[in-house]
Amino acid sequence: MQRLDLRQLLQQKLSPQQIQFIKLLQIPTAELEMRIKEELEVNPALEEGNDEPADDLYGDTDNEEYGDSDDDYGKDDIDLNDYLNDDEISGYKMQGDRGGEDEDDREMPIAVASSLTDQLMDQLGFLDLDDKQHTIGMQLIGSIDNDGYIRRELSSISNDLAFSQNVDASEEEIEEVLHMIQTFDPAGIAARDLPECLLLQLHRRDQDEITILAERIIEDAFDEFTKKHYQKIQSKFGASDEALKKAVDLITKLNPKPGGAGAGMTRIQYIIPDFILTNNNGQLELSLNSRNAPDLRISRSYADMFDAYDKSDKKDKKLKETVAFVKQKLDAAKWFIDAIRQRQNTLLRTMEAIIKYQHEFFLEGDESLLRPMILKDIAEEIGMDISTVSRVANSKAVQTEFGIYPLKYFFSEGIATDSGEDASSREVKHILKEIIEGESKRKPLSDEKIEQILNEKGYNIARRTVAKYREQLNIPVARLRKEL
């Protein structure tokens, strides 16, 4: 049976301008430069330059969240005054830019270096290999992961050579070439597991008593070594306390990841802060990074097209279609410039609220001065949604006199204290780290003991919270912190 119902629904939909603003808000400065270049390429009505007076395109703007929409967009009626006003098309200067800087400074700093693969290939070329061995060597080098290991089974590499290179190579032939590659720099490269990696490095050292003991520990007592059961190792090899200590120190100084983080990486991009915070005799001054965006303006030539249209026969269908296209591009350019402006207003308001909340930290740089602060605190301070603050905090960074910090660094939960106030979890982590750094390495403190110390200092914290914070600081359990 068919029924006809009448329902009233309330839905919230984002306008194209709001979507554009959200996307621009969450990207950092380095990506914003690329996004602006893309917009300049696809929209000829948008231009970059400051050769004209840099008046504000929209005059004074309030600090409300971006939400305006152009209801006239797409209609046939075209108000030429919207595009022929000299004040509107004269130019647009980015708010918060630091003027007077060299244009060359806009280039992103890039460190260029040869990749690990290239270095290994160069060393492979110095070996006296036949064609088959050279092919095996290239396959092995291509199988090295970012840490410098070959974790793929030799049987699988043999199959890869057969199917991709049409080379029939046995596991013995592959292992023969592998041993050659393991003599390359950096030491320990192309190992198949951690013990082999450490042994490859030890084999290159002078074979004195300590080195030989270190090799025996890795070969015959590696499990006990990882668990720091030093008494078992000592009784197993009959080593003296001094010799065991030197052997353990030698092993711990070896490189467990000879590939490092640069395998296959030829470009390293540095962090570019979105905000610059300076301390001028106790007065904190905030500005946006000068790279935040170039000067943008509406194209004068596109406005001239409307001037020509105004003097022409408006009944010409093709001309009217052309003007409609030009209007679309001009609207898009205005929307983009306004989204950039709103982005800057939101960034500045959010950062100013964070500075107000964490004022003592920004003056002193002392981590213990950080106050508990969550996204809701800043959202209520600036009158915006939590999701807006989250987009700013998750992708932006500020440069201070004490270093560059991501904004999310300043957000932390609160821990109750005996005084009735809340302490930042950052402060508690800082104190926890100091406690562990000051402990006796021969008898490290357990999580229960650290809990007692923190409670004595006035921080009401449970053992499981101590364990959570310790793991977040990448600090191992007490047994693994033990030293001879």
Over the chain, what HEC string results? CCCCCCCCCCCCCCCHHHHHHHHHHHCCHHHHHHHHHHHHHHCCCEEECCCCCCCCCCCCCCCCCCCCCCCCCCCCCCCCHHHHCHHHHCCCCCCCCCCCCCHHHHCCCEEECCCHHHHHHHHHCCCCCCHHHHHHHHHHHHCCCCCCECCCCHHHHHHHHHHHHCCCCCHHHHHHHHHHHCCCCCCCCCECCHHHHHHHHHHCCCCCHHHHHHHHHHHHCHHHHHCCCHHHHHHHHCCCHHHHHHHHHHHHCCCCCCCCCCCCCCEEECCCCCEEEEEECCEEEEEECHHHCCCEEECHHHHHHHHHHHCCCCCCHHHHHHHHHHHHHHHHHHHHHHHHHHHHHHHHHHHHHHHHHCHHHHHHCCHHHCCCECHHHHHHHHCCCHHHHHHHHCCCEEEECCEEEEHHHHCECEEEECCCCEEEHHHHHHHHHHHHHCCCCCCCCCHHHHHHHHHHCCECCCHHHHHHHHHHCCCCCHHHHCCC
Burial of 38 (0-12, 13-18, 19+ CB in 10 A): exposed
Paired with 477 in beta bridges are none
**pLDDT given at position 266:** 42
Torsion sign, CA atoms 175, 179, 180, 181: positive
Least confident of 66-70, 147-151, 208-212, 303-307: 66-70
Interval 325-343 mean pLDDT = 82
Measure the CA–CA gap between 307 and 80, rounded to whole angstroms.
Answer: 8
Amino acid at 18: Q
Measure the CA–CA gap between 319 and 99, rounded to whole angstroms.
Answer: 42
431 near 454, Cβ under 8 Å? yes
Burial of 224 (0-12, 13-18, 19+ CB in 10 A): middle
pLDDT higher than 60, residue 354: yes
Measure the CA–CA gap between 140 and 147, rounded to whole angstroms.
Answer: 14
Least confident of 162-176, 202-216, 246-260, 410-424: 410-424
Measure the CA–CA gap between 10 and 201, rounded to whole angstroms.
Answer: 68
Rg over CA atoms, the chain:
32
Please report which confidence band the pLDDT of residue 290 belongs to, taking 50, 70 and 90 as the band edges.
low
Amino acid at 476: P
Interval 363-389 mean pLDDT = 85
384 near 66, Cβ under 8 Å? no
pLDDT higher than 80, residue 20: no
Measure the CA–CA gap between 70 and 333, rounded to whole angstroms.
Answer: 13
**ω into residue 406 within 30 of 0, thus cis?**
no
Contacts of 112 (CB under 8 A, 6+ apart): 266, 267
Torsion sign, CA atoms 126, 130, 136, 138: positive
**Mean pLDDT of the chain, nearest integer:** 77
**pLDDT given at position 311:** 65
Least confident of 109-113, 189-193, 275-279, 434-438: 109-113
Please report which confidence band the pLDDT of residue 201 belongs to, taking 50, 70 and 90 as the band edges.
very high
424 near 370, Cβ under 8 Å? yes
End-to-end CA distance of the chain: 84
Interval 370-375 mean pLDDT = 84
Torsion sign, CA atoms 127, 129, 135, 136: negative
pLDDT higher than 60, residue 430: yes
pLDDT higher than 70, residue 294: no
Least confident of 17-26, 113-122, 381-390: 17-26
pLDDT higher than 60, residue 57: no
pLDDT higher than 60, residue 93: no
pLDDT higher than 70, residue 77: no
Strands 296-298 and 46-48: antiparallel
Measure the CA–CA gap between 468 and 428, rounded to whole angstroms.
Answer: 12
Measure the CA–CA gap between 119 and 264, rounded to whole angstroms.
Answer: 10
Measure the CA–CA gap between 363 and 374, rounded to whole angstroms.
Answer: 20
pTM assigned to the model = 0.53
**pLDDT given at position 94:** 40
